[in-house]
A and B are shown apart, each in its own frame.
Chain A
Amino acid sequence: QKEVEQDPGPLSVPEGAIVSLNCTYSNSAFQYFMWYRQYSRKGPELLMYTYSSGNKEDGRFTAQVDKSSKYISLFIRDSQPSDSATYLCAPYSNDYKLSFGAGTTVTVRA
């Protein structure tokens, strides 16, 4: 079993829809929960992160972590075509590395 599981999609939504992305993980030592966005042929770009359980909002993006169920979510409100990318969850546990999910590819149709 992988340490971090992420549905690869692909996910296709119309412009303006809410995009919901999820990961599950097995390592209870994870403390920071990062979300990266990766455009085609580019490096991962840090979108936002949360520490421990709870919610964090940044503009149209909301990250949620439920440590009791080992579940990580990212919501994108009012999605735009420019949000079309691969989204990677990446928890971290003080072992000096990010543990990446395989990534979910999202297409927002204009």
Chain B
Amino acid sequence: EAQVTQNPRYLITVTGKKLTVTCSQNMNHEYMSWYRQDPGLGLRQIYYSMNVEVTDKGDVPEGYKVSRKEKRNFPLILESPSPNQTSLYFCASSLNTYEQYFGPGTRLTVT
């Protein structure tokens, strides 16, 4: 089954404790992206990647890092999480950059 998977699905952590949210797709898509979803603000792009080793900032990249060492994986790294990063995070992938297919989401709470 073609899909985007994310892990973990739920995470509660404390301020400053580094964490990684993994994202993997099995559709051989070159484009991958991370978004965060907050009430009233919709989904906003954090980072995207056009291919292996090619990443670029989206609209809200502060406090996040990404890496793209393999085509299928695009992890999101929070090196020092803060409470304002409490959000619902979605990974997406695409064959053509506009038809984006989303994962199930990771709900992160930073206390």
Q: Which residues of A contact B (CB under 8 A)?
A: 4, 6, 8, 32, 34, 36, 41-46, 49, 88, 90, 92, 94, 96-98, 100-103
A33 (CB) vs chain B CBs: closest residue: B98
Other A-B pairs, 11, CB within 8 Å; known A88-B42, A98-B43, A98-B100: A8-B40, A34-B100, A41-B105, A88-B43, A92-B98, A94-B97, A96-B33, A97-B59, A98-B45, A100-B35, A102-B41
Fill in one digit per residue for B24-41: 1 if any A CB lies within 8 Å of its CB, else 0. 000000010101000011
Partner of A96, one of B4, B42, B56, B90: B56
Q: How many residues in B have their beta carbons less than 8 Å from beta carbons of A?
A: 25
B103–A43 touching, CB < 8 Å: yes
A102–B105 touching, CB < 8 Å: no
A97–B41 touching, CB < 8 Å: no
B6 (CB) vs chain A CBs: closest residue: A43
A32–B42 touching, CB < 8 Å: no
For this complex, 23 residue pairs linking A to B, each with C-beta atoms less than 8 Å apart, are A32-B98, A34-B100, A36-B102, A42-B104, A42-B105, A43-B102, A44-B43, A49-B98, A49-B99, A88-B42, A96-B31, A96-B50, A96-B56, A96-B97, A97-B33, A97-B45, A97-B59, A98-B43, A98-B45, A100-B43, A100-B44, A101-B42, A102-B41
Partner of A44, one of B56, B90, B97, B99: B90
Measured CA separation A100–B90 after assembly (Å): 13
Contacts of A36 in B (CB 8 A): 102
Contacts of A88 in B (CB 8 A): 42-43
Contacts of A32 in B (CB 8 A): 98
**Distance to closest chain B CB from A32 (angstroms):** 5
Contacts of B90 in A (CB 8 A): 43-44
**Distance to closest chain B CB from A108 (angstroms):** 22
Contacts of A92 in B (CB 8 A): 97-98
Measured CA separation A92–B31 after assembly (Å): 14
Contacts of B102 in A (CB 8 A): 36, 43-45
